[in-house]
Amino acid sequence: MSQTNIRIEGRAGRITLTRPEALNALSYEMCMAVDQALNDWRNNDDVNLIIIDAEGPKAFCAGGDIAEMYHTGMAGDYDYGRKFWRDEYRMNAKLAEYPKPIVSLMHGFTMGGGVGLGGHVGARVVCESSQISMPECGIGFVPDVGGSFILAQAPGRLGEYLGLTAARMGPGDAIHADFADHFIPQEGWPALIQALTETGDLTPLEQAAQPAPDSPMAAQQSVIDGLFDGEGLQDILNTLRASDSDLAAKSLKTLMHNAPLSMAVTLEMIHRLRGPGLTIRKALEMEYRVSHRIMEHGDFLEGIRAQIIDRDRNPNWKHAHDSVPTVAVSQMLMPLGADKLGFEED
């Protein structure tokens, strides 16, 4: 059974994820189906815009389907995961750079790979059920699929906070952090989709958009900035321990469960990317340096084992939280040479 429903309706190309029983987790097959649709519609004059949505009440896309990566990686085969990430990242870049308008409708859980699918397009819509996050550090990975690109642009130190804690953003938070653009109550989505397919332009979306709900993270921005402005992981841990705020206590508890190397690398990525030269391709290329190495040299396989396979929630991380070697971070982010991520079609 197909995991995506790809078709043309009126003036719009439609991509609907049809795997609600798995919270629309993104498989390699789904990535390639989206990629092929983008190729097919690029020069198709019958398609004026593209709409990406998903079936089921709970999730737009709750992340990547990583079980197969775990099993192949445990068998010593790192090439499957590398190919998955390489092709997925190329698809992410294609979405971000596409010459036609793309609308993503991100209801419910939108995490990890779901952010890569819906978070880089030109018109990102959220509703009252939207919960967006980047939870990768909890499984021994780093924010990827271009997530580091958005985190590096978030206001103040919100990128560090979101990348390390995996805090969930409601619709107001997502718009404040620039993970989304428009708030439209979900009951209005069917009429919106019909209008978009009939007109082939974004005017109905602009007319339907409502003021963004309040953002708790915006209200706490100054506190977040003070807690997460450290140069490295040790600095942030020290600041959190020294603070008596509820946010600090909650954040510290989360960080002490996460993979230390992943958090240290995530901070370094965000700091390197922050600046005027930031592009989606630069972020994806840096993420792929980590992806290429993470199963062999990082905590990814152990994180998946503890959280998803055995579910004992007791990972044995490679490093202690207060003693992540600087050289280990540097080695994860070294250029890959001939294995560098390229964006040309194979």
pLDDT per residue as tens digits for the range 167-178: 999 999 999 999
Q: What is the pLDDT of residues 32-78, one digit of tens each?
A: 999 999 999 999 999 999 999 999 999 999 998 888 889 999 999 99
- Residue 109 phi, psi (nearest 5): -75, 125
Helices 233-242/246-255 angle, 10° precision: 140
CATH topology of domain 4-339: 2-enoyl-CoA Hydratase; Chain A, domain 1 (3.90.226)
Question: Domain coordinates of the chain in residue numbers?
Answer: 4-339
- The predicted model scores a pTM of 0.96
Q: How far is C-alpha 250 from the chain's CA centre?
A: 22
Q: How far is C-alpha 192 from the chain's CA centre?
A: 25
Instruction: Output the pLDDT for position 336.
Output: 97
Model confidence at 286: pLDDT above 90: yes
Confidence band, pLDDT 50/70/90 cuts, at residue 277: confident
CB neighbours of 334 closer than 8 A, spacing ≥ 6? 289
Higher pLDDT, 56 or 275: 56
**Percentage above 70 pLDDT, the chain:** 99
Instruction: Output the pLDDT for position 291.
Output: 97
Longest dimension (CA), the chain: 60
Instruction: Output the pLDDT for position 66.
Output: 85
Model confidence at 1: pLDDT above 80: no
If you average pLDDT over every residue of the chain, what do you get?
96
**Which has the closest alpha carbon to 228: 248, 212, 209, 200?**
248
With residue 51 as reference, give the H or E element that holds it. Answer: strand 49-54
Q: Enumerate the active-site residues.
A: 64, 113, 136, 144
Instruction: Output the pLDDT for position 230.
Output: 95
| pLDDT mean over 289-316 | 95
Instruction: Output the pLDDT for position 23.
Output: 96
Instruction: Output the pLDDT for position 346.
Output: 61
Instruction: Output the pLDDT for position 64.
Output: 85
Model confidence at 117: pLDDT above 70: yes
| pLDDT mean over 276-286 | 94
| pLDDT mean over 189-212 | 97
Q: Tell me the residue type at 284.
A: L
